[in-house]
Amino acid sequence: MPRAILALYDTREEQKLRLSRIHTMAEMPLNHLGLTVVYWDVADGLPDLARFGDLRGVLTWFAGDPFDDPRGYATWIGKAMDQGLRVVALGQSGIRRSRAGTAMPMSLANRFFGRFGLRDDDGYSDLTHRSRPVVADEMVGFERPLDGPLPGYPLMRAVDPRVTSHLVLRRGGQPESDSHIVVTGPAGGLAVEGYVRHYDPELVRRQWIINPFSFFRAAFGTDDLPKPDVTTVSGRRLYFSHIDGDGWRNATEIESFGKDRPIAADVVRREAIEPYPDLPVTVAPIGADLDPAWKGTAASLAAAKALFALPQVEPASHTWSHPFFWGFFQDYTPDKEAAFAPASGRRARGGYLANWFGRTRITEDEVVGEGGHAGGPDIGRYAVPRAFLEEPFDIAREVGGSLDYMTGIAPAGKPARLIQWSGDTQPYAAAIAATRAAGVRNINGGDTRFDAEFPSYTAVAPIGVAMGDQRQTYAAASNENTYTDLWTNRFYGFRNLVHTLRNTDTPIRVKPFNVYYHMYSGQKSASLAALKEILGAARVADIAPVTASHYAAMADGFQSIRLVPEGQRRWRVVDRGALTTIRFDGASFDAVDFPRSKGIVGQRHHQGSLYIALDPAVEEPVVALAAVDRTDVAPPAPRPYLIEGRWMLDGVEVYANGFLAGAQGFGAGTMSWWMPVPGRYAVTAERAGRVLWRGEAVAGVDHRLSLTIPVAAETPLRIGADRLD
């Protein structure tokens, strides 16, 4: 089933894809609907559609007129629609004028708009004080109501009865003046400029006017599409946590530690990691902070070894020399960086400088005072291109070298397999390719917020971003740096992460539960208290914890997965990688049809959607659905299945009186199963043939078998349940 949306954008209008309207606002709702996005810069002309394999549609969001030849664009759009692609046009159509400003004939405009079931009556209402909505359904006024003066709008008439009009404006009470502003239909959808999203220039904040989830769902016709989902594992919200090594060697300022104050990395270990063995965390030091040949010390190296030895800690790397501005290194030469060499032949100041990160460019006095140099190329808000300048930049050392170093100091069998991007978290394509060549994942960037300061889904990032033929995976939530005015104020601010965690889980689950922070959180009492408050919230949440590298692998699986129809309401799942959940929306009266399915661990209804857990041990699961007549109980089935659980399960074997399954996870194994036969069940957990725990649980008249297996499962084990009576 085609899942890809071809997004047309214009670098002459939006210089960076990362900052484009489609990427920052539209791609996340599209991801939620199971869709991927591929980009094409129309400054390079129009693409050959044949080069894209599984397109579902085309999306544009222009603010101006990007085409020298709008006629050619109209022809291209027509061919796309003739091939069955749905087209969605937000903002300006790109068809009314050429890039040089030449007006196009109305016949050309109506050839374009006619494809959407509309006709342009060659009019425009710029005085809107007498205009009122006569149709404004639930798709309009999503985050920003239509109040106050309305933006100007073109006069668009609906001419196709198959079109659904979601917003119709009328002037002066005259029906003949009705203008159809937001529409969807079999060809796609259209929403005119000024009625897609609201922008507040004073607060620099955006809010959706249309409901992007509903609009894209209707325009791209996704109801028939099973949705690959990276927010949920084993029927629960996925949890992961990762730490960037910034501030590793900073001495803590917390007075309770006494005069001999430990470094921040040790404080975080003792206060926020060791007391939480049930919450995995991926720890990524900076190589230069550990290696004695650079700026490492005995204490900084020992701190890393102590952390990596903990069973809930996954080793990773935050690069070797901590690049701040990755774009600087895309065409790197040592001479280019020489402008930032330390003054008077002194070596660069060692260690991470918190006041250099994320700040406006530092004054000349400040730079020289730190042993830096105020001259050289402009690198934006950073004073130097990277934190450690001891040796020339080497991308092989930043990626493969740093990973090898972390693996070398970690216990045997715990390889470092994740790069956590540093600085502006905007790596160039070749840097991302270096992680792929090393066989590891990558993460960071995105800075998702959804709270009182950022009260909109427009601040919720997509799963990742394409850079050329490479792909960067974003963190699922922002770190404490954005809550603390770039680590200069409000050091308690990270506690406000709870609002983003709540808003990205309800009423729509769009993100997993991600706790992402830096080692400098161990430096101050307020920041450490805020971190522990967030970890406390995680402890009582209904979560399934995984490592950060596992989440990044799932994000890659979201891109690669293919869904092959195999009959009535039946799909084969191919090339899914580590992704283990398929979601069906609006599925309260649907359930897994187990006799027609394969490789299914379980199912759970949540928020009107059906989340189906796939067995990682089955290469190509098959998902089939059947109708059920009740929504207040777990759907009946001829075999046991997992409803929800904290651990990930694989190699599941089910039979009439019980089940066997491989299990891996963090914390006690709390889970619920639906059992065909109520009664008492003997439950066991074993590893390598040795029984670790035995117990009993009861499936009541509701067929739910709820149990807790109180053993450690960081190392995989095998669990089973057998009916006793």
Q: What is the pLDDT of residue 348?
A: 39
Tokens of residue 320, six digits:
């070797």
CATH 1.10.405 is right for the domain spanning 4-224: no
pLDDT tens readout for residues 339-381: 887 643 333 333 333 333 333 222 222 222 222 333 455 676 7
pTM of the complete model: 0.94
pLDDT tens readout for residues 700-725: 999 999 999 999 999 999 999 999 97
What contacts 649, CB < 8 A, 6 or more positions away?
Answer: 234, 601, 613, 615, 642, 661, 662, 663, 719
Q: What is the pLDDT of residue 631?
A: 87
Q: What is the pLDDT of residue 53?
A: 82
Which residue ranges make up each domain of the chain? 4-224, 232-551, 565-723
Q: 386 - beta bridge partners?
A: 323
What is the rounded CA–CA span in Å between residue 648 and residue 538? 18
Q: Which of 431, 421, 417, 416 is nearest to 470 (CA)?
A: 431
What contacts 102, CB < 8 A, 6 or more positions away?
Answer: none
| 643 touches 235 (CB < 8 A) | yes
Q: What is the pLDDT of residue 342?
A: 65
Q: What is the pLDDT of residue 377?
A: 58
| 133 touches 167 (CB < 8 A) | yes
- Count of CB atoms within 10 A of residue 723's CB? 19
pLDDT tens readout for residues 257-269: 988 899 999 999 9
**CATH class for the domain made up of 232-551:** alpha beta
pLDDT-flagged residues of the chain (< 50): 343-375
pLDDT tens readout for residues 52-89: 988 999 999 999 999 999 999 999 999 999 999 999 99
When computed from its CA atoms, the radius of gyration of the chain, rounded to whole angstroms, is 27
Kindly state the helix (H) or strand (E) to which residue 123 belongs, with its residue range.
strand 118-125
Tokens of residue 165, six digits:
């009009």
Look up tokens 């539209």; give the residue: 26
